[in-house]
Amino acid sequence: MGAAAAAGATGGAALNVNPIRNPNQANLDFNIPGDHHDLLHHNQVGTVIVWESQAAKAWHKIEPGQAPAETRVFLEGLSGLNDTYFTVNEFKGWHLQRLLKSLRACFVDIDLGRAATRYDLDEAIERLHEKAMPAPNMVVFSGRGLHLYWILKHTPALVLPVWQAVEGALIKALADFHSDSKARDCTRLLRLVGTKNSKTGGGVRGLVLDGQPWNFHQLTDEVLGHRPERPVRQVRSFEAAQVKRGIHPRATNFRRWHLVLSDLHQIGRHHGQIPEGFRNEFLFLGSVALSWFASPESIADEVIDLAKLYCRGLPEAEAEAAASQSIARAKKSIGGEKEMWQGESKDPRYFFKRETLWERLEPLAAPVVRSLRAIIPDGVAAEHKRECDKARWDDENTGKGYRVGNAEKVAQAQSWRADGMTQREIAGNLGVSQRTISTWLGA
């Protein structure tokens, strides 16, 4: 049943559909489901998924075009129910990583095994302070602990690899305070304020510490460290440019494996269906990529979805089997385990070189190699590097207010602007000045 249908089912009951008056007010308690939605999904641009796990055992969707009053009436109808959750982020129809539309918060799930108090929150904030981490701007008392939120302004899915790095750093900062290392995926659902935790019988309530959402660029700098100032002098190699541009090292692996998964989708779309004999390899490598930026619990569902798209007819059990080793290694990684490789301590997750990925998938990848970014042979990699260097350092002007090498960024800026992002937010995400964005948007 959708949100609209659920709203109609409430009949003429008197419901609180008025939002909190001043969401920017500090230390503001709230226990109304609609307030939780409005604080987290302000200016909603994608689908929010709601899960009633106990009563109706039903899934609902709140769509971005839905009238605010209708949404609040629907959510008010869930007040008092046991074990009801909703997605932290927004999607294109369903909560799968490939359908991610907008990142709306970073979060940490602290499991104390009991009802949390304000003293527990103070302790969590103090530990964050000790590790030079920013305090959350909203907290939910979940009935067995705390859900800490760093609410974001609308942040496009493009930055997911960096988001995952920020998420991991926040969880690690509270590892000695019972943070759940498994709760780190962008598809996560957390408890909805105004409902109940059936394990303790306690109500789920919220507290606004600072209702002003973060700009993702600023939160990244606060958590991962400030990026160095842009050099005045031009650099002449891509490798040097990576250092000069201040790319956060913790985001590099996430970005790389995100590109691998994107290439797999590109290969799948080209073939329509992956031929038998390649399916296990295709799904296995998909699970390897996912293990670097998805939680172990969500990898199986994501791989099953990959199989439904490009390996129709393959039993779900076989898809799960293809992902099993990647899931096991991802669990070891989250648990802090290391493996020795050639005398060095390494992350236990699979890490295949670009050349190895190409060797394993060459027959499938060859027809679309020019459109791939990560699963490519040496020759194409060298060609991409030459093109990239030329675009960056020997750029020609388009005559439209930007250089050829910035064409992709210009297109992205225009897309984000159409989604409602401000010029300042776009500038922060792309790492350029607001004046540059103004020029690009007028191009």
Q: Does 58 share its domain with 106? A: yes
CA distance 101 to 87: 12
pLDDT at 390: 63
pLDDT at 230: 42
CA distance 173 to 160: 20
CA distance 112 to 248: 32
Q: Does 14 share its domain with 134? A: yes
- Chain-centroid distance of CA 393 in Å reads 32
pLDDT band at 422 (very low <50, low <70, confident <90, very high): confident
DSSP, residue by residue, 26-51: TTEEE--HHHHHHHHSTT--SBEEEE
Q: Does 359 share its domain with 434? A: no
pLDDT band at 27 (very low <50, low <70, confident <90, very high): low
pLDDT band at 226 (very low <50, low <70, confident <90, very high): low
Whether 11 shows a pLDDT value over 50: the answer reads no
Of 195-209, 288-302, 331-345, 396-410, the range with the lowest mean pLDDT is 396-410
Helix H segments across 41-196?
Answer: 68-76, 118-130, 160-173
Whether 424 shows a pLDDT value over 90: the answer reads no
pLDDT at 12: 35
Q: Does 80 share its domain with 142? A: yes
Q: Does 265 share its domain with 216? A: no
CA distance 392 to 403: 9
Q: Does 65 share its domain with 208? A: yes
Helix (H, G, I), strand (E, B) or coil at 398: coil
pLDDT band at 317 (very low <50, low <70, confident <90, very high): very high
From 376, 407, 430, give the residue that closes a domain.
376
Helix H segments across 138-248?
Answer: 160-173, 216-224, 238-244
Asked, for residue 143, whether it belongs to a domain, the answer is yes
Residue matched to tokens 């590097």: 385
Asked, for residue 388, whether it belongs to a domain, the answer is no
Asked, for residue 382, whether it belongs to a domain, the answer is no
Q: Does 174 share its domain with 302? A: no
Q: Does 318 share its domain with 409? A: no
pLDDT at 340: 86
pLDDT band at 104 (very low <50, low <70, confident <90, very high): very high
Give residue 90's domain range.
3-223
Q: Does 77 share its domain with 109? A: yes
From 159, 188, 223, give the residue that closes a domain.
223
Q: What is the pLDDT of residues 362-419, one digit of tens each?
A: 999 999 998 898 999 999 888 877 776 665 554 455 556 666 667 767 877 887 787 7
- Measured between alpha carbons, how far apart are the two ends of the chain, in Å? 44
In the numeric block, which tokens belong to residue 375?
Answer: 């699963």
Q: Does 188 share its domain with 260? A: no
Whether 13 shows a pLDDT value over 60: the answer reads no
Asked, for residue 390, whether it belongs to a domain, the answer is no
Asked, for residue 241, whether it belongs to a domain, the answer is no
- Chain-centroid distance of CA 266 in Å reads 20
Total Cβ atoms within 10 A of residue 10: 12
Total Cβ atoms within 10 A of residue 105: 26
Compute the average pLDDT of residues 127-137. 93
Q: How many CA atoms, within 13 angstroms, populate the side-chain half-sphere of residue 409?
A: 21
pLDDT band at 206 (very low <50, low <70, confident <90, very high): very high
Whether 306 shows a pLDDT value over 90: the answer reads yes
Q: Does 159 share its domain with 72? A: yes
Asked, for residue 232, whether it belongs to a domain, the answer is no
What is the number of structural domains in the chain? 3
* Cβ atoms of residues 294 and 260 within 8 Å: no
Asked, for residue 235, whether it belongs to a domain, the answer is no
Whether 2 shows a pLDDT value over 70: the answer reads no
pLDDT at 409: 79
Which segments within 222-319 are labelled E, that is strand?
A: none
Q: Does 161 share its domain with 274? A: no
- When the pLDDT of each residue in the chain is averaged and rounded to a whole number, the result is 84
Asked, for residue 245, whether it belongs to a domain, the answer is no
Compute the average pLDDT of residues 116-138. 93
Helix (H, G, I), strand (E, B) or coil at 436: helix
**pLDDT above 90 as % of the chain:** 55
For residue 63, what is the domain's CATH number? 3.90.920
Its pTM stands at 0.66
Phi and psi for 340 in degrees, rounded to 5?
-85, 130
246: left (phi over 0), alpha (psi -120 to 50) or beta: left
* Cβ atoms of residues 425 and 215 within 8 Å: yes
CA distance 174 to 337: 18
pLDDT at 134: 93
